[in-house]
Homo-oligomer: A and B are copies of this chain.
Amino acid sequence: MATIYEVSKLAGVSLATVSRVINNNTRVSDRTRLKVETAMNELGYRPNSIAQSLASNRTNSVGIMVSELNGAFFGQMMAGIEAELRAAGKHVIITTGHSEEEKEHAGIDFLISRNCDALIVHVEAIPDDELKVLAQSDTPIYFTSRLIEGLEDSCIYLNNELGGYLATKTVIEQGHTNIAYIAGPQFKPDSQDRLTGHKRALAEYNLPFDENLYFIGDFKETGGRDGIKQLLSNPKPFTALVCANDEMASGAMTYAREHGIALPNDLSIIGYDNIIFSRHIYPKLTTIDNPVYEMGHMAAKLVLKNVYKQKDIEIKHSFEPTLISRDSIAQLKP
């Protein structure tokens, strides 16, 4: 591979000049630039990005940590981030945290050690105060789907409390009063907030929160299956089921159907996230839209603005969930 040195020799200029044309540094005469470019083409020269990074202390790469590489939610998130960053000539290094505190720490350490210019991370297990410590690091770090007190400017988040409220309110307004709830893992802030919203809606309509109608799932299909199974075995009957995400709703629907429960007539179900396949399951799932893709974009923009100093970028930190009405909720006839 040709180096900058060979280019400079062939073009009859100095190293510095070659470097200037590589970096589009303005102060190069057109004639010189042409000479250099010709030499570069002739040699098939391509800058060594490692050397560039070492010398400039910039890698043009941003580290991403998601919980899982597969899974519709994180797919959307990554896609949103990558699209924006790539368009700006930056690239992403992706790693996973698997929602485990230790692995999340390892992932962040790893990304920092790769000299990323910035990090965009979706952390679920590490508590807020440790995050605040991490945020002191030389590497700027931004958080998705999470609002950390004191670090608001580094967060892009969804109003999950509102989403949880919306979901439950929606079924209540269809006449349901016996409403079961399958929550996500309670160490995850998202899950907590959604649950809080659920309780607020209940309270608003003077409905009690009943432990017999409550189950904590794992945010996966199995959580939905296990949840509805448990709920069905409790003494308390219910006509509606609110799930803290679409995967669990899907799992619950499959189980319900297998056990002769007609959907949505015998049981109304609402999900959360509006992941791609929610409209392809049967009945089509009514759910709460979580604009993950847009949030991914915004997180990337935040980096572009703060770290790469791009101008004219508007940042929106807080996103609002919206109701997506489809076919999985039946109006309860009195």
Residues of A within 8 A of B (CB): 1, 46-51, 53-54, 59, 61, 68-72, 74-76, 78-79, 82, 86, 91-96, 110, 113-115, 138, 221, 250-251, 253-254, 257, 276-277, 279-282, 284
Contact = CB atoms under 8 A, between A and B. Distances in A.
Given A1-B138, A48-B115, A69 B79 contact: yes
A167 to B, nearest CB: 20
Given A50-B53, A82-B95, A92-B95, 13 more contacts: A69-B75, A70-B76, A71-B75, A72-B72, A91-B114, A93-B93, A93-B94, A221-B280, A250-B277, A250-B280, A251-B280, A277-B277, A281-B281
A254 B276 contact: no
Interface centre among A51, A94, A115, A251 (most CB of B within 10 A): A94
Q: How many copies does the complex hold?
A: 2
A60 to B, nearest CB: 9
Contact of A50 (B54, B68, B72, B92): B54
B91 A91 contact: no
A82 B96 contact: yes
B70 A115 contact: no
11 contacts: A70-B78, A70-B276, A75-B75, A92-B94, A93-B93, A93-B94, A94-B94, A250-B280, A254-B284, A281-B281, A282-B282
Kindly list the 7 A-B residue pairs having the minimum CB-CB distance in the complex, ordered from nearest. A70-B75, A282-B282, A69-B79, A69-B78, A70-B79, A250-B280, A50-B53
A282 to B, nearest CB: 4
Given A93-B93, A115-B49, A281-B282, A68 B72 contact: no
Contacts of A86: 95-96
A251 B251 CA distance: 19
Contact of A93 (B91, B96, B253, B276): B91
Interface centre among A50, A76, A96, A279 (most CB of B within 10 A): A50
A19 to B, nearest CB: 16
A104 B131 CA distance: 37
Contact of A82 (B51, B69, B82, B115): B69
Contacts of A93: 61, 91-94
Contacts of A277: 250, 277, 280-281
A86 to B, nearest CB: 7
A79 B75 contact: no
B49 A113 contact: yes
Contacts of A94: 78, 82, 92-94
A261 B47 CA distance: 59
A213 to B, nearest CB: 24
A31 B253 CA distance: 63
A110 B60 CA distance: 12
Contact of A91 (B46, B82, B95): B95
